[in-house]
Amino acid sequence: MESILVQHATLFIALAAIFGLFMAWGIGANDVANAMGTSIGSGALTFKQAVMIAAVFELAGAILAGGEVTKTIRKGIIDVSSLGDTPELLVYGMLASLLAAGIWLLIATRQGWPVSTTHSIVGAIVGFGAVGIGIDAVHWGKVGTIAASWVTSPVLAGAISFFLFRSIQKLIINTENPVASAKKYVPYYIFVVGFIIAMVTMVKGLKHVGVKLPLDQSALVAVGIGVIIMVIGSIMIKRIKFDPEADRDFHFASMEKIFGVLMIFTAMAIAFAHGSNDVANAIGPVAAIVGIVQSAGEIAAKSATPLWILIIGGGGIVFGLVTYGHKVIATVGTGITELTPSRGFAATLGAAVTIVFASGTGLPISTTHTLVGGVLGVGLARGIGALNGDVIRTIFMSWIVTLPAGAGLSILFFFVLKGLFS
């Protein structure tokens, strides 16, 4: 019986790597574009700078903190024990899921819709699981938790971003001298960004590299890293050359320049957070396939995700952003509400905080929903009129379509693969 897996072992692993790369490319084109959209849309970073930041920090997030969510995608959604002596069904299903989600992302990106890669892959896995294996094989409780997080995450990110932007309005924008206030307070915001990324990496990310520190030590290290980043940021702010003419046309031009420095750090935060959560969408299924094929059908064995798979995920994501990311960047960066560096910062940090907490608990939430939630929160802080209703409606519609689209395509490919190999 196991001969199918043994016979075509190399082919299955090659297909897994190719489809995983395709899916990662789609995540880069659609999702990283969201993550970088606020930085580029607000004018804080050029496209080139954003790509460089994304390349380094997406990979770091994937490799340092990506293991926890990968587990959920790989084993948390489908009950593999019900497969018994037909482990190849899981291989077909995971291949079908990757292909289905990748194709849906390609369609959505062409339209400029920021959809959820998490929805795409979870929908695809649930689809083939329910139809190809059996309704009982799906862990509906886990799916329910994931689905609930798609509502809670944008709300939470929206709330954090709303209050962050309110604090910026109170401490900086609405003061008599916004530039002086920005110089005074922005370093503290930079510290918060550094502390949060460091903390989540220490607590969750370094486990599978074999580093585990107690909580109090982790916090101390994170504070240290936060202070270092704050010092670097302060030096960068001191080096800014202000143009006195600029403030005549736009009263806050010099102040926004200071926030431009802050956006560089939040772009790093969101790229790291995104790599840690969303790389799992591409490599969770790949890891599952490789694990089953290499053990000739053993599903129960616990397996660590091999480094080459994490690299496929991280590398594919960066490639997708570079080659096809510009469409979704336009939607998130300028379509929803007009962003400046200070607004972009509040939206991005609100989203990053929400995502890293979710990654820590292993919940695959949607970066897209979280980020759009953050941008909406900032728009609301400026008053409801600042939001573009048409764009928001289209985004919500594309979100609703994503689950059934992923599931439908995945069921189709599942039966094609089953027909080809069985």
Residues 79-112 pLDDT 10s: 767 666 777 788 888 899 999 999 998 998 888 7
pLDDT band at 75 (very low <50, low <70, confident <90, very high): low
Residue 70 CA to its chain's centroid (Å): 13
- From 118-132, 161-175, 324-338, the region with the lowest mean pLDDT: 324-338
214: left (phi over 0), alpha (psi -120 to 50) or beta: beta
Do 121 and 410 meet the contact criterion of CB atoms below 8 Å apart?
no
Tokens of 412: 């189709």
pLDDT at 197 over 90: no
Q: Give the angle subtended at the CA of 207 by the CAs of 191 and 265, to the nearest 5°.
A: 25
Q: What percent of the chain has pLDDT over 70?
A: 82
For the segment 219-254, what is each residue's pLDDT rounded down to a tens digit?
888 899 899 989 998 888 888 777 766 666 556 777
- What one-character DSSP code corresponds to residue 399? H
Structure confidence at residue 337 as a pLDDT band (50, 70, 90): low
- Going by pLDDT thresholds of 50, 70 and 90, the confidence category of residue 412 is very high
The pLDDT assigned to 281 comes to 78
Residue 209 has pLDDT above 60, yes or no: no
- Those residues whose C-beta lies under 8 Å from the C-beta of residue 2, and which sit 6 or more positions away, are 87, 296, 297
The answer to whether the Cα torsion of 102, 103, 107, 108 is positive or negative is negative
Which of 353, 368, 204 shows the shortest CA–CA distance to 281?
368
Could you give the percent of the chain with pLDDT greater than 90?
A: 7
For residues 268 and 50, give the distance between their C-alpha atoms in angstroms, rounded to a whole number.
Answer: 9
Q: Which residue has the higher pLDDT, 154 or 65?
A: 154
Q: What is the pLDDT of residue 19?
A: 92
* CB within 8 Å of 402: residues ≥ 6 apart: 104, 108, 115, 116, 119, 120, 123
CA distances from 170 to 72, 138, 153 (A): 41, 49, 26
* Gyration radius (Cα) of the chain, Å: 22
Specify the pLDDT at position 138: 81
pLDDT reading at 284 higher than 60: yes
Top mean-pLDDT range of 243-247, 253-257, 301-305: 253-257
260: CB partners within 8 A, 6+ apart = 43, 44, 341
The pLDDT value given to residue 21: 92
251 versus 417: which is more confidently predicted?
417
Best-predicted range by mean pLDDT among 9-23, 122-136, 167-181, 207-221? 9-23
User: Residue 319 CB: number of other CB atoms within 10 A?
Assistant: 17
Q: Model confidence over 12-67: pLDDT tens digits?
A: 889 999 999 999 998 888 877 766 777 777 777 788 888 888 888 887 877 776 66
pLDDT of residue 228: 92
The pTM assigned to this predicted structure is: 0.78
Residue range 380-401: mean pLDDT, rounded = 75
- Sorting pLDDT into bands at 50, 70 and 90, what band is 276? confident
List phi, psi (to 5°) of 337.
Answer: -155, 155
Lowest mean pLDDT among 29-38, 155-164, 167-176, 278-287: 29-38
pLDDT score, position 224: 92
What's the mean pLDDT when you consider all of the chain?
A: 79
Q: What is the pLDDT of residue 119?
A: 82
* Rounded Cα distance, 352 and 36, in Å: 12
Helix (H, G, I), strand (E, B) or coil at 138: strand
78 forms bridges with which residues in the sheet? 138
Rounded to an integer, the average pLDDT of 251-258 is 75
Q: Report d(CA 278, CA 318) in Å as an integer.
A: 13
Among the residues of 169-214, which ranges form H helices?
178-200
Q: Report how far residue 196's alpha carbon sits from residue 299's, in angstroms, rounded to the nearest whole number.
A: 36
d(CA 379, CA 387): 6
* Amino acid identity, position 285: P
C-alpha span between 105 and 119 (Å, rounded): 10
356 in Cβ contact with 276 (< 8 Å): yes
